[in-house]
Every structure is written in C-alpha cells, then in structure tokens.
Amino acid sequence: MIGLTIAGFDPSGGAGVLRDIHTFRDLNIHPTAVVTSLTAQNPNKFFSTYPIGEKYIEEQIDSIFDEYSIEYGKTGMLYNEKIVKKAHKKLKEYDVKYVVDPVIVSSSGGALSDKTFIKSLKKKILNDSILTTPNIKEAEDLSNIKINSADEAIEASRIISKHTNVLITGGHLNGMNVLNIDGKIETFKTEILKTNSTHGSGCGLSAAITGYLIKGNDLKTSIKLANKYIYKQIKNCWYGTLR
C-alpha cells in the first residue's frame, strides 16, 4: 500500500510532508512525498516561505509514478496558482483520487499561500477532489462567509460542497465538526484537549483520511477513523510542541 502527499516542508517536523510521512507510516503505508515549498518555521514561530518551481514539482511527481502505482493521495500547502495548476494536472494525468487540505496560514500565523491561491484552488483542484478538510478560517475563505456558530459552519459546508465533499474541522468551534458528503450534512463533536501540541494536526488528519481510504475503507468511515487517530495523537502530545 502506497500513499502520496504533495505539500510543503516544515523543518521542525510538525507539519507538511514530514507529518504526512509519519502518519502514513503509522498506518503501515509506504509514503511518497512531493515538496511544493520550503518553509522556515517551528510550532510557535513562522519565518519564511520559499516556493519550489512548478517544473521541478512536475519532475518530482513523474519520478514517483515512474516507479509506483498510486490510487490515493493528498495535497497540503500548494502556495500559488501555478503550483495548484501543476498539481491538478498531474493528479488527473495519473488518475489519483485525492484529499485536499486547503493550507492557507500556519498555526503560528505565517502565510502559506499567496493572493492567487484561493481562487485557483476553487477553480481547479477542489472540483476533482474527493474531500477537502478546512478548519474554520479556511472554510471562511473558501465560502466567503463568517463562521461563529455551527449553523454558519453548516451553511459554509453547503457552499463549499458545490466543489467537493467537505469536512469542516471544529477545533475553533468548541469541537463541533461539520461533515457534508454528497449534500448530506451531519455534525459530530470532538473533545477539545488543553494542550499546545496541535501543530500539524490538520496535515495529519488529511493524511490519515487518505491512509484509511488506501486501506479500503469508504470515505465516511475513513474520516471517523482518522478523527480518532488524531485525537489520540494530540492526547499523547505527539504533535508540534512536545510538552
């Protein structure tokens, strides 16, 4: 079983492709990884972003598929329109089913996308994805509505679901998650843990969903299993700030 992540590099190991690799390994899946951008960051501070040229991203993807056959993958930090278009083109070319983590800013507040990103994400890659996993802020950016309640999150999910299935994660809404698959909406609550150990948990969630899909589960089951996996990871302080 082989998984693919197309995402950014976090040198602190908490987020991005390194987190995705750890997650795939936890699920006994061989990880392959394409780096879209380099970042200088740690769980508490963001320094800078350096996007990789789209031609080199293409070569990374081609080199993987020259050796492996991969059914499922995920995208994380894509940063700009050129990278979004390239990732979308190659995922279609290789007929990969994929989950989109619409990474916009880091947990410490650094910009992980430029002004062209959101428009191109909605126009291109979301429409062919099987799921997107925005947090509340990302869901606001994708839906263009302010979210302060579960009802507003549900409305945002309806807007985003015009492009793809959506799981709006509830870490910033008292643990209330909103899941919209094929227009069918349900909410479920996750206990909010008092911890600093959450850096990269969004990356891990989307990677875990991808991993459980690879293992043969349907989408809804994969989401529920991935949510349990991330909860356990955070509870045991295996994310970000390890204290």
Domains of the chain: 2-235 (3.40.1190.20)
Over range 85-109, report the average pLDDT: 88
pLDDT at residue 170, rounded to an integer: 80
pLDDT at residue 236 in the model: 77
What values do phi and psi take at 47, rounded to 5?
Answer: -110, -55
Predicted TM-score of the model (pTM)? 0.93
Length of the chain: 243
72/219 Cα distance (integer angstroms): 12
In the predicted model, what is the mean pLDDT of residues 229-241? 74
Residue 37's pLDDT band (cuts 50, 70, 90)? very high
What is the band of 116 on the pLDDT scale with cuts at 50, 70, 90? confident
What are 133-170's pLDDT values in tens digits? 999 999 999 999 999 999 999 999 999 999 999 999 98
Residue with tokens 């056959």: 69
Average pLDDT over residues 222-233: 93
In the chain, the largest separation of any two C-alpha atoms, in whole Å, equals 47
pLDDT for 106: 58
> Alpha-carbon Rg of the chain, whole angstroms?
16
Reading the block at residue 81, the tokens are 């329109």
d(CA 7, CA 5): 6
- In whole angstroms, what is the distance from residue 102 CA to residue 122 CA? 10
Mind giving me the DSSP string for 171-234?
Answer: TTTTTEEEEEETTEEEEEE-PPP--STTTTHHHHHHHHHHHHHHTT--HHHHHHHHHHHHHHHH
Would you say residue 242 has pLDDT above 50?
Answer: no
- Treating both helix axes as pointing N-terminal to C-terminal, what angle do 201-214 and 16-26 enclose, rounded to 10 degrees? 40
